[in-house]
A and B are shown apart, each in its own frame.
Chain A
């Protein structure tokens, strides 16, 4: 029985590995996972003899890569309008650890580099930029062009620029240097976005993904998706991003999926889409009834959604999207960085009945129900966090938070102004409510576009609200408590189970799922309060249920659950006035094996881990201390940062 989950792991590894082959014919690549494994993959799939050294031949990921899949630059029209000046190149440089000057004129640098970044500017109105020398060979053929070229080469670029600008304004720009008939020489911002990613992508050290955001927002209801390319510029530059406005675009995700399919079919490339901010969708992000038709979602919808939307962005600057206290009244940690007043533009206030279709945990439950009806779970997504910052700066640490937009870069007044306000609906969100969150953690074998993308596709990811804690989560049937004492928990995890994002099937008679979960705090961050496992399932009546289990916690020698089964709070060392805390409570590392005590093999279920840090100062506390800003009444000044892993699903035999 032991190799049941192992075989499943192999399936995942093989499908991911087949994607890693660069030279497959387009037809093969367009059906990910179906390519025949090569010799190396086949051998990896059958590790008949494990070598003595636990590290020899180790081909599983040894550390998570941290990044941001959702960063806007000045190329996004709204970001530019807010005053963002940094473009994609600046954004990549900053993420790689360089110091840059923010649009507000302040120097800024990350505490440590990110491993990857997706510049995801809005595809609508991305626009065209002048490309005066589009046909570079012609530059030299034209006498004026040659003169300018020589000036540029001899370091007089600014002089050449002035002459060129004057030539344009006086209508004397050489006609031979312009391209399209009937148009000026322009190139799309998309091509420059690609060029920036190509320039800063450095396999093994830093991955600059090509991507964009499709920003469906009809009626102010957020149905946004970020589209991420596995491919390099040669393929990505064959397309223009999908937009929302007709006649070229559409606000319906079904149309986006068609665009994705057309891209893959034509180029042999691969793309995936990540939705975000269900909390601002007013009940339309995870529908049972499609908002576009008023009809129940059908088989095509659930299959396409499951195929193209493998991940969900569960936390970001515009609020946390894991759980909501109305939906999870027994979860004392559900009320975190909550943005639930209305839709994205605040035009329509929130109603309680919308919440069920907005939050990740609730959607995971809805997915189990829809799978019963339609045979496919449309909401079987893994979790990541990202920023959605609009200033080209993926700076999400509480003590180095550069805000969501340029006006929200550090200043003495950024805590006291309104982010948006709608008099008609009464919806008002203050700038202090903007969340310094989050990042995406990806368990990939190497830091390359292909390896990271494949890990996203197999959902071996987790979300963090900013800190870089390391979280392992494996499910299987045979984990024992001594596995948590192992020196090499990852080896045991991959051998006896499936990692986060995986599936459990074929429950052995009399057995319940077991989980090996481990968390190590950010090396420069706060200790851990606890690790929880969140379970959702369908009961005998087909009703969705959920429960949160505390499975391992810090200060365990003196911290025991009370008679009500509740674990006492970890306490707090935060000195708000000085914006400090100490790691004198909690633990740096937590690990355990947990067995579902309430398992019924007939009921489909999902399990994911939630890791909580001890309380630390929120960005508002650092602002108050460093800038002397006076917080408004009601401003949150502390928080418990956290991580959410992708779930592991249990599906009963049909």
Chain B
């Protein structure tokens, strides 16, 4: 044995290294059989705090010692199953897990999109690009007299004409409280929007009211219920609002548009990181590429 070697073998450091290597090998062998070498599950103070906060947010009080113990035990049980399941690959090929993860990643881009602060210029541009969407509705003050087709039958048109003549004579001050037939909706409406009229009478009636010249009786106007004689006493035109009047709505819609834009752009960027190869099913027709991704 060369002198330098025997000197080396007497070095405590070398003993230590050799011993360490041997131990490492033994542990390595043991680690292949994990039942013999427990892996740590550390329930950190932070996690305990997290469990405690979670409980108190549900129950509006702190957990008792026993409840906290239960929470921790349940957390450990879940962690054990989680790790084993991941090790077994149980997360793969599971539609629920795949979709959930996709959803979470999409949420990342939504979260990022939500960080964008629109300037007044952004909002103004958005408003100007689709003004009709934010236009205020015309509003109507009107009175109507209802004729129920069930009660008038063939005489409906004639009865309506007679009544209309009477109303035209009486004009805007006509007392309608006893005219026409009983009706469950109110007789007069004060400054209601066209869409509200549409909801209560049907869209065609709302459009017809929009076309009536104010100040005189018109009719018969058809609704979902029958025919009406209508006096529009006042109308306020719809208009394009200034940004200040509709800022909340514009901002909400701007954010929604951003969200959709960033989501789609992110997907395209992520997709660009992959080479997608679609193998054609044997029976599929040539040129049938419904998802628009290049075949390679």
Contact = CB atoms under 8 A, between A and B. Distances in A.
B198 A246 contact: no
B50 A183 contact: yes
A182 B117 CA distance: 30
A130 B107 CA distance: 7
A243 B71 CA distance: 14
A470 B184 contact: yes
Contacts of B103: 74, 80
Interface size class of B (residues with CB under 8 A): 35 or more
Nearest to B67: A247
A374 interface: no
A412 interface: no
Contact of A181 (B49, B59, B99, B203): B49
A554 B148 CA distance: 13
Given A89-B256, A246-B74, A247-B67, A158 B269 contact: yes
Given A55-B188, A130-B108, A183 B46 contact: yes
A587 B112 contact: no
Interface string B197-235: 011111101000000000000000001111000000000
Contact of B252 (A136, A199, A263, A518): A199
A580 B19 CA distance: 89
Nearest to B273: A162
Given A136-B115, A266-B60, A158 B108 contact: no
A240 B52 CA distance: 13
B58 A522 contact: no
Contacts of B224: 521-525, 588
B100 interface: yes
Contact of A524 (B104, B107, B112, B202): B202
Contacts of A522: 224
Contacts of A112: 195, 198-199, 203
Interface stretch (A342-350, A484-492, A607-615): A484-492
Interface stretch (A149-157, A277-285, A326-334, A382-390): A149-157
Contacts of A139: 115
Interface residues of A, number: 74
Interface string B171-196: 00000011000111111100000010
A62 B186 contact: yes
Contacts of B236: none
A485 B178 CA distance: 11
A239 B60 contact: yes
Contacts of A266: 60
A241 B60 CA distance: 11
B61 interface: yes
B44 A77 contact: no
Given A130-B104, A182-B50, A248 B71 contact: yes
A524 B270 CA distance: 47
Interface in B105-138: 105, 107-109, 111-113, 115-117
Contacts of B259: 89
A129 interface: yes
A587 B184 CA distance: 13
Contacts of B54: 240, 248
A8 B103 CA distance: 51
- Name the prevailing secondary structure of the B interface residues: helix
Contacts of B150: 554, 587-588
Interface string A232-257: 00000011111100111100000000
B108 A164 contact: yes
B42 to A, nearest CB: 9
Given A112-B198, A181-B46, A523-B224, A162 B269 contact: yes
Contacts of A158: 109, 261-262, 265-266, 268-269
B109 A93 contact: no
Contacts of A354: none
A291 B61 CA distance: 29
B296 interface: no
Nearest to B109: A161
* Most chain B CB inside 10 Å of its own CB: which residue of A149, A242, A472, A524: A524
Contacts of B55: 248
Given A259-B59, A588-B225, A182 B270 contact: no
B141 interface: no
B45 interface: yes
A337 B9 CA distance: 89
B108 A132 contact: yes
B14 to A, nearest CB: 36
A253 to B, nearest CB: 16
Contacts of B50: 180, 182-183
B86 interface: no
Contacts of A267: 60
A183 B108 contact: no
B157 to A, nearest CB: 17
A153 B262 contact: no
A487 B104 contact: no
Contacts of B71: 247-248
A266 B67 CA distance: 20
Contacts of A113: 195, 199
Given A136-B115, A199-B252, A523-B202, A80 B262 contact: no
A249 to B, nearest CB: 8
Nearest to A75: B103
B104 A588 contact: no
Given A127-B100, A129-B111, 5 more contacts: A130-B111, A183-B50, A248-B55, A262-B59, A591-B182
Interface of B: 44-47, 49-50, 54-55, 57-61, 67, 70-71, 74, 95-96, 99-100, 103-105, 107-109, 111-113, 115-117, 148-150, 177-178, 182-188, 195, 198-203, 205, 223-226, 249, 252, 255-256, 258-259, 261-262, 265-266, 268-270
17 contacts: A74-B103, A113-B195, A133-B112, A139-B115, A155-B116, A157-B258, A158-B268, A161-B109, A162-B269, A200-B252, A239-B60, A242-B58, A487-B187, A523-B201, A524-B202, A524-B203, A588-B149
